[in-house]
Amino acid sequence: MSAPPAPTFSRRVWLFWRKRIPVYAAIYVAVVAVFLWFELSLVFRPHTAAQSWRSPPDRRTQDVYFDSTDGTKLHAWWLPPTRPEAGAFLVSHGNGGNLSFRGELAAALNGASGAGVFLYDYPGYGHSESSPTEAGCYAAADAAYAWLTTAGKVPQARVVLFGESLGSGVAVELATRRPHRALVLVCPFTSLPAAAKSHYPFLPTHTVMRSRFDSLSKIGGCTRPLFIAHGTADSVVPFGQGEALFAAGNEPKEFLRVEGAKHSLPGNEFYPPLARFLDRHPAAD
């Protein structure tokens, strides 16, 4: 009796993968599940005031406590303007640390323009209560804007919305709903899933991430002057995402390409071009 014919090559390949595909699929699903479980801790990296806190570099800085639109107790620093006609920056900071890490930024913005600076913390950051979420960041921005334009006595048309990294998504969202003089974005992404995809290319971030911060879909609704700065060596948010967001924005707009700069707070090469841009686009009182 003759032996059965040996399996063909394609048959051997099929048998090999038939045993392994379910295992690999299970591993992949488990990896995605772990990513989802830790999503908020990957997106938000807050330092409470008890963990780390720095003194403001400008002694004129005032502590401000106010309530978010969802009732959360929030904290901010208010650096008054030296030129009231310059208005004020409303700063939405990045995902790490807390507002005290941005004291030099506030001092530099104030010094370069004479404008006031209102630098607030999201829930769970610094002295602010609760825990951070996308919705919580938007609610905090709304409340900060309300304080600045009422208790802070800054006219809405003189508010410059400033967003850094994660804060760019917060600032863009606020800009679609609140009057302002200009929108300034530093190291912005098109969306949070797009930024995450650059770090986790094997994960379906666009499908599964709950935190969206989808600036690309919203930037068309921002009709005031737009200024974007991005470093070409940014390894956190790819430089191309800043370019893509800028391309989708409305005129008037300006893009500051900072050669060799990484994902960091603005340096000396940032402030003079920003000041000139704002001078060209004064408040529309």
Catalytic residue among 75, 93, 230, 263: 263
Do 124 and 134 meet the contact criterion of CB atoms below 8 Å apart? Answer: no
Q: Which residues of 155-180 are buried (b: 16+ CB within 10 A; e: fewer)?
A: eeebbbbbbbbbbbbbbbbbbeebeb
Catalytic residue among 165, 168, 211, 215: 165
> How far, in Å, CA of 254 to CA of 251, rounded?
8
Catalytic-residue membership of 63: no
φ and ψ at 126, to 5 degrees?
Answer: 55, -125
- C-alpha–C-alpha distance, residues 5 and 185, integer Å: 68
**For this structure, is 215 an active site residue?**
no
- State the Cα–Cα distance between residues 283 and 81, nearest whole angstrom: 15
Instruction: Clarify whether 234 is annotated catalytic.
Output: yes
Strand pairing category for 182-186 and 226-231: parallel
- Which residue, chain included where needed, has tokens 């071009």? 273
DSSP single-letter state for residue 112: H
Query: Which are the catalytic amino acids?
Result: 165, 234, 263
